[in-house]
Amino acid sequence: MLGGERLADPYPYFAHMLAEHPVHWNERYRAWFLHRHEDVLWALRNPAFSSDRVRPVYETHLSEEKRAARAPTFEVLRHWMVFLDPPEHTRLRKLVMPAFSPKRVATWRPRVEQVVQETLAGLRDRERFDFVADFAYPIPAIVVAELIGVPAQDRDLFKKWSDDILTLVFGAQGEPGRRELAQQGLVELTGYLSDLVAKIRRDPGDDVISSLVTAHDVEPPLDDREIIATCALLVFGGHETTTNLIANGTRQLLRHPEQWNLLRDEPERITTAVEELLRFDGPSRLEQRLLAEDLELRGKTLRKGDNVFLVQSAANRDPEVFDRPHELDITRQRNNHVAFGFGVHHCLGNFLARLEAQVAIPAVLDALPDLALDGPEEWHTTMMSRGMKRMPVRRGAVS
C-alpha cells in the first residue's frame, strides 16, 4: 500500500480501489479496507466498528514473553481514549472537551495570531528553510503546550518523543526497532508528565492538566495513570494533526498557483479553503477499527475480530459525493469530508486545528508571497497519518 510514489501521491491508487475494490481484503495487512464515503461514514457511526483494538491484541495475540516486553507501552495506550469505546471513552472525553469547545478555542485566536507572527519573523530573511520544522510544527506545538499546561520551551523534547511514538501508533511497518523506540519515547514522555502532574497538583492553574487533577464530577475519579496517559495523548495528538494540515495545505496551494493567488487576493475565503485542503489532502490517511460482530457489506462478509481500515483519503475524493473530486477548489461550498472522522471519536481538537490553519496559512501568503517548493519532500512512512518529515522551500518564486 505504501512506499515509492504512493507515499508522496497515494490518490491514483485510492481512486483505483474506490472504483474497482471499494471493500477489499488485503492479505499483507490481514485487514479490510473500506474506500467509499458512504461506507466510511457508516462505519464511523456504527458501534460494531470498535476502537478498543489495543487491549485485545495485547491480551490474546501476544506470547507471555512479548506481553512482558511491551507492558510499559500497553500501560499507557490502554488509557488513551482513542483506543476505548463508550462508556470508558465518554468518561475521559467529557473531561477534556470543554478546553476544545468552539467557544473556548475562539478565545485563543489572539495568542495563535501572535505565535504565527513570531514564527514568521524568523523566516522573513531566510532564502531557504524547512517548512515543517521551521513553521508548521512550532505553531501547534507552542499552542497545545500552553493549552495543556506544558512549558513551551520543552517542545523540542516532545517533538522527539512524538516522532518516536508516531511509528507505532500510526503504523509504520518495516521501520527497524520501531516498537522499542516508541516504548522508550512513551516511557520518557510519561515520566516527564508524571513530574509535571505532581507539580500542577500542588499549584493548579487554568489549563487542561489542572482541570484533570481537580476534577470531582466523574465516576469513578481519574487516577494518576489515566491523567498522565490522557495528557500524553493530548501532547502527542495535539500538534501532529495540525502540523500536517498546515504543511499539506500549504504544499497543495504551492502546487496549484491559481488557488494560491486566489486565496492571497481574497483571504476572506480562508474558511472554505481550509475545509477544501482537509478534503483534498488531509492530515489523516485512514482510521483503524476492530469488528465486534459479523457484518455484510457489498457482498463481502466481515467477521468479528477482523481489522478494518477506513480510508478517509479515498472517501474524501469519492465522485459519488464530490463534484470534480481530484480538483483543488478553495471556493467549494458543499464539503462533507471525513478528514476529522465522525461520531463519538470525531477529532477532539478539530476546532483548534481549523483555527490554527485559518490563521497560519493566510499569514504565509501575506508574508512570503514568493514562496516555492524546493526539492522533494520526505514523508512519514506511517499508514494512518498523512504527513511530512521535511518540506524544503525557498524564497524568490515568481507570483
The whole-angstrom separation of Cα 386 and Cα 253 is: 16
| More confident call, 229 vs 311 | 311
pLDDT at position 177: 66
- 361-372 pLDDT, tens digit each: 999 999 999 999
How much is the pLDDT for 174? 55
pLDDT at 397: 62
Euclidean distance between CA atoms 99 and 211, whole angstroms: 9
Q: What is the pLDDT of residue 119?
A: 96
212 backbone φψ class: left, alpha, beta (φ>0; ψ -120 to 50): alpha
For position 379, what pLDDT does the model report? 93
pLDDT exceeds cutoff 80 at 57 = no
pLDDT band at 179 (very low <50, low <70, confident <90, very high): confident
User: In this model, does residue 387 exceed pLDDT 90?
Assistant: yes
**Residue 68's pLDDT band (boundaries 50, 70, 90)?**
confident
At residue 356, the pLDDT reads 97
The pLDDT assigned to 207 comes to 87
**Whole-angstrom Cα distance, residue 153 to residue 60?**
41
Classify strands 31-34 and 307-310 as parallel, antiparallel or unpaired: parallel
Nearest to 260 by CA among 364, 176, 374, 153: 364
Whose CA is closest to 379, among 14, 10, 8? Answer: 8
Q: How confident is the model at residue 290 (pLDDT cuts 50, 70, 90)?
A: very high
78 versus 368: the higher-pLDDT residue is 368
Does 399 score more than 50 pLDDT?
A: no
CA angle 394–398–399, rounded 5-degree value? 105
pLDDT at 5 over 90: no
- Mean pLDDT across the chain: 89
189 or 219: which leads in pLDDT: 189
Contact call for residues 169 and 284 (beta carbons, < 8 A): no
* pLDDT higher than 80, residue 217: no
CA 398 to chain centre: 33
The whole-number pLDDT of residue 160 equals 76
Q: What is the pLDDT of residue 237?
A: 78
Res. 322: pLDDT tops 70: yes
- CA–CA gap between residue 49 and residue 69 (Å, rounded): 28
pLDDT at 54 (0 to 100): 83
Determine the pLDDT at residue 66. 82
Is pTM beyond 0.85? Reply is: yes
Question: Who has greater pLDDT, 227 or 282?
Answer: 282
Q: Is 314 exposed, middle or buried (0-12, 13-18, 19+ CB in 10 A)?
A: buried
At residue 14's C-alpha, the angle toward residues 306 and 85, to 5°, is 35
The whole-number average pLDDT for the span 365-381 is: 93
**Higher-scoring residue by pLDDT: 211, 69:** 211
pLDDT at 35 over 60: yes
219-253 pLDDT, tens per residue? 777 888 888 888 888 887 778 899 999 999 999 99
DSSP code of residue 100: G
Q: Is the pLDDT of residue 262 over 60?
A: yes
Residues with Cβ within 8 Å of 102's Cβ and at least 6 positions away in sequence, in order, are 351
Q: Is the pLDDT of residue 169 over 90?
A: no
Residue 393 has pLDDT above 80, yes or no: yes
Q: What's the number of CA atoms in the CB half-sphere (13 Å) around residue 21?
A: 10
Which whole number is the average pLDDT over 311-317?
Answer: 98
pLDDT-based confidence at residue 299 (cuts at 50, 70, 90):
very high
Per the CB < 8 A criterion, the answer to whether 232 and 208 are in contact is no
Reported as a pLDDT band with limits 50, 70 and 90, residue 173 is low
Question: How far is residue 316 CA from its own chain's centroid?
Answer: 16
Domains of the chain: 69-284+321-394 (1.10.630.10)
CA 344 to chain centre: 16
Distance CA 82, CA 348 (A): 10
Give the CA angle between residues 220, 224, 229 to the nearest 5°. 100
Please, which pLDDT band fits residue 22 given cuts at 50, 70 and 90? very high
Q: At which residue does the C-alpha cell 483543488 appear?
A: 328
CA dihedral 90, 91, 95, 100 (to 10 degrees): -10
Per the CB < 8 A criterion, the answer to whether 185 and 165 are in contact is yes
Where is average pLDDT lowest: 33-47, 204-218, 300-314?
204-218
Which band of pLDDT confidence, cut at 50, 70 and 90, is reported for residue 1?
low
Segment 33-61 shows an average pLDDT of 91
Q: Which segment of 169-173, 297-301, 308-312 scores lowest on mean pLDDT?
A: 169-173
Task: Count the Cβ atoms, other than its own, within 10 Å of residue 89.
Answer: 18
